[in-house]
Amino acid sequence: MEKTLVIIKPSAIRRDLIGEIIHRFERKGLQLSGLKMMQLDNKLLDEHYQHLKDRSFFQRIKNSMMQTPVIVCCWKGIDSVQVARTMTGCTNGRNAAMGTIRGDYSVSIQENIVHTSDSVENAQIEIKRFFNEDEIFEFDQLQSDVLYACDEI
């Protein structure tokens, strides 16, 4: 099954939303395969946000992401990248639909609660960036037969 990365950002950590965010992904039916708290540093953020390095807000994003530790999660499920992105909502919390994580908890384009991988390819890269192989776990989810049709899994 497909895997995706979700980072619970400092804006969520500081607002005590960790459990609420994890709860939403669990209730949706995604399976948690990896979870850890870590303090991000310049080197890791330079790599993660390299596609934004020439943007005027690059340093601001890095500063924001280093305010507190973050929670990095690896979630597994059919089409998990798209499922997580749909649940999260658009980047700008002011424009995100109610019912999405950002729509319910964010009013900012930057302090927008979570990061989610934007493609299957980037999810694979990001998971390797934030997790060692022995930190990702494979096990049978007991309820998979009620989450998916028999020909989906």
- Residues carrying an active site annotation: 115
Q: Which two tokens stand for residue 76?
A: 């597994």
Q: Residue 76's closest CA among 32, 119, 128?
A: 32
Alpha helices in 41-143 (DSSP H): 42-48, 58-65, 80-88, 101-105, 120-130
Q: Residue 33's closest CA among 2, 1, 73?
A: 73
Q: In what order do the strands lie in the sheet with 31-38?
A: 31-38, 70-76, 3-8, 114-116
Residues in contact with 108: Cβ distance below 8 Å, sequence separation at least 6, in sequence order: 11, 92, 93, 94
Helices (H) and strands (E) in the chain, counts: 8, 4
